[in-house]
């Protein structure tokens, strides 16, 4: 037993890696939100103790490897099970992807060690939190961005810190998580001293403020409630693009459609694995007939080709007229090939991903006008980018996400994605509707809470009354400008404190 304890004491990298794994427990499906704060507090404590830049870098990298291998290791399923990449190569690719992502917390460790500070509270409560959030922002933007597992998501919807989401967005919540972690370290190290007591007091103020913000109604009802049906076809990914299964897939969705009397009926992303132009006329004719007979609208997911370009689209049939949305923010390697001249051979010869070279539909697309509501559609990965979702606001009264997370099997990917949608609802003060192939299909209220959800990997229809909302949260008005401003202010303050300290020493 003593040998094990001593081993951990001389291996801070093991502690850092385990704390990274622990942080994943703060996210769905576990949702133990304090774990994100505890794990980051452990990392901050290690950085505070081991001040050499190289050591701080490796501690951050160790944390990142534990965090991302445990948190996004489901990428292996997409590569091997459905992309048909050989097992060893898929494992290597997943490990390299996690290692790339781990460079971001590693960079945070290096930067905080290079910025000198003689005051411990400044380092723990200003420098480390600000650098952490800054690095997460970089991860959310670089190479089209991969903001998955941004720490702020771990606080939705149960944590009092979620109250800051409509004001500062997910990165603002991350800042409060990181500040809470720094205050925790300060209190643990100095529980009876003035610094520790002040840290405990600030921690309490932050969390009480978050709880108070949760009680504010930032938006108000718009129009009358109406009924929506979300179809979860549960078509296996390895059958989805099988030519022999196409007609059966269309029949499955048509029968699900007939069982609904909702005003709006939503198919998942690319529910029908055909180009729109290839859909049989008798099938689309049946859709129009059902919509007219029931006085409804049907939103259908399929690919589209126009002037030689391919799009991932949603098409509306029904009493509101034909409307459409084309996916704007595409997934690198999954939906388009970055640096095609260099990497095209790899995607085409090693991976088997259908429709992996799509075109963007563009940013400025009209909202769908349905049942006196303005609906902002986003497809799959697009709802990971809060600053892009708010482009449709405050005009949009409802948010709607269609996805196909079947690529990731029975991993935690789909439920993590649903938690991201919960954050988007909180940030915007709008309900979020999610229609997915295998799950998670859900209806989320404007406070980020799940009103109804289908079991994953089951064929079912979720029918609920939904309400549109109007108005704008502070985040809708400011976007990420507020968090950039806060970080700028913190770094200016850090610079001023540094020069003031140097001046005091000289005198």
Q: Which H/E stretch holds residue 373?
A: strand 373-379
- CB neighbours of residue 287 within 10 Å: 20
How far from the centroid of its chain's Cα atoms is residue 22's Cα? 19
The helix (run of H) or strand (run of E) holding residue 6 is helix 2-9
The burial class, CB within 10 Å (0-12 / 13-18 / 19+), for 112 is buried
Joined tokens for residue 470: 């109007």
Residue 336 gets which letter from DSSP?
B
d(CA 13, CA 5): 14
Q: Identify the H or E element spanning 219.
A: none
Please say if 306 is a catalytic residue. no
Please count the other Cβ atoms lying within 10 Å of the Cβ belonging to residue 202: 18
* 141-144-146 Cα angle (round to 5): 65
Q: Is 125 a catalytic residue?
A: no
Residue 133's nearest CA partner among 489, 500, 419, 427 is 489
Annotated catalytic residue within 136, 240, 269, 427: 269
DSSP 79-128: IIIIT---HHHHHHHHHHHHHHHHHHHHHHHHHHHHS--S-HHHIIIIIH
Q: How far apart are CA 410 and CA 440, in angstroms?
A: 11
Sequence-separated contacts (24+) of 119-125 with Cβ below 8 Å? 119/497, 119/501, 120/48, 120/186, 120/189, 120/195, 121/186, 121/195, 121/199, 122/494, 122/497, 123/48, 124/44, 124/48, 124/182, 124/183, 124/185, 124/186, 125/179, 125/182, 125/183, 125/186, 125/199, 125/202
* Residue count (the chain): 507
Q: Is 327 a catalytic residue?
A: yes
Catalytic residue among 123, 136, 240, 380, which?
380
123, 304, 327, 427: the catalytic one is 327
Radius of gyration over every alpha carbon of the chain, rounded to an integer in angstroms: 24
The 8-class DSSP code of residue 78 comes to I
DSSP, residue by residue, 420-463: HHHHHHHHHT--EEEEESSS--EEE-TTS-EEEEPPTTS-EEEE
Interacting residues of 491 by C-beta distance below 8 A, sequence separation 6+ = 130
CA atoms within a 13 Å half-sphere pointing along the CA-CB vector of 446: 23
Residues carrying an active site annotation: 269, 327, 380
């Amino acid at each position: 037993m003593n040998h094990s304890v001593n081993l951990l004491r001389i291996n801070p990298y093991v502690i850092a890696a385990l704390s990274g794994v622990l942080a994943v427990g703060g996210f769905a499906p576990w949702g133990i939100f304090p774990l994100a704060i505890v794990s980051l507090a452990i990392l901050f404590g290690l950085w505070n103790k081991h001040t050499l830049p190289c050591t701080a870098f490796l501690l951050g990298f160790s944390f990142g490897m534990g965090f991302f291998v445990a948190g996004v290791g489901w990428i292996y399923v997409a590569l091997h099970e459905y992309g048909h990449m050989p097992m060893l190569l898929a494992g290597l690719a997943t490990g390299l992807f996690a290692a790339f992502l781990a460079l971001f917390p590693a960079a945070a460790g290096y930067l905080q060690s290079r910025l000198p500070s003689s005051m411990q509270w400044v380092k723990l409560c200003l420098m480390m939190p600000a650098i952490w959030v800054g690095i997460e922002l970089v991860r959310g933007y670089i190479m089209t961005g991969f903001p998955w597992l941004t720490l702020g998501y771990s606080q939705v919807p149960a944590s009092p810190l979620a109250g800051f989401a409509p004001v500062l967005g997910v990165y603002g919540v991350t800042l409060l998580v990181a500040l809470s972690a720094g205050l925790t370290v300060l209190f643990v190290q100095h529980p009876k001293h003035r610094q520790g007591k002040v840290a405990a007091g600030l921690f309490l103020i932050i969390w009480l403020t978050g709880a108070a913000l949760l009680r504010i109604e930032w938006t108000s009802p718009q129009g009358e409630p109406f009924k929506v049906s979300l179809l979860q076809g549960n078509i296996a990914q390895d059958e989805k693009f099988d030519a022999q299964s196409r007609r059966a897939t269309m029949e499955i969705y048509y029968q699900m459609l007939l069982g609904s009397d909702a005003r709006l009926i939503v198919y998942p992303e690319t529910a029908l694995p055909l180009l729109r132009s290839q859909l049989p006329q008798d099938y689309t004719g049946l859709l129009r007939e059902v919509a007219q007979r029931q006085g409804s609208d049907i939103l259908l997911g399929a690919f589209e080709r126009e002037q030689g370009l391919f799009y991932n689209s949603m098409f509306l049939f029904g009493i509101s007229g034909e409307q459409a949305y084309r996916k704007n923010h595409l997934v690198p390697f999954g939906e388009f090939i970055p640096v095609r001249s260099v990497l095209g051979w790899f995607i085409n010869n090693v991976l088997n991903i259908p429709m992996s070279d799509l075109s963007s539909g563009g940013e400025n697309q009209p909202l769908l006008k349905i049942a006196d509501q303005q609906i902002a559609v986003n497809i799959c990965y697009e709802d990971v980018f809060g600053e892009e979702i708010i482009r449709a606001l405050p005009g949009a009264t409802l948010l709607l996400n269609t996805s196909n997370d079947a690529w990731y099997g029975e991993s935690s990917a789909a439920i993590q994605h649903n938690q991201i949608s919960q954050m988007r609802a909180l940030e915007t003060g709008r309900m979020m509707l999610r229609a997915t192939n295998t799950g998670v299909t859900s209806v989320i209220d404007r406070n980020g809470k799940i009103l109804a959800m289908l079991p994953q990997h089951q064929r079912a229809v979720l029918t609920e009354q939904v309400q549109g909302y109007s108005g704008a949260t502070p985040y809708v008005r400011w976007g990420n400008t507020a968090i950039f401003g806060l970080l700028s202010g913190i770094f200016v303050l850090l610079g001023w404190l540094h020069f003031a300290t140097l001046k005091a020493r000289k005198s």
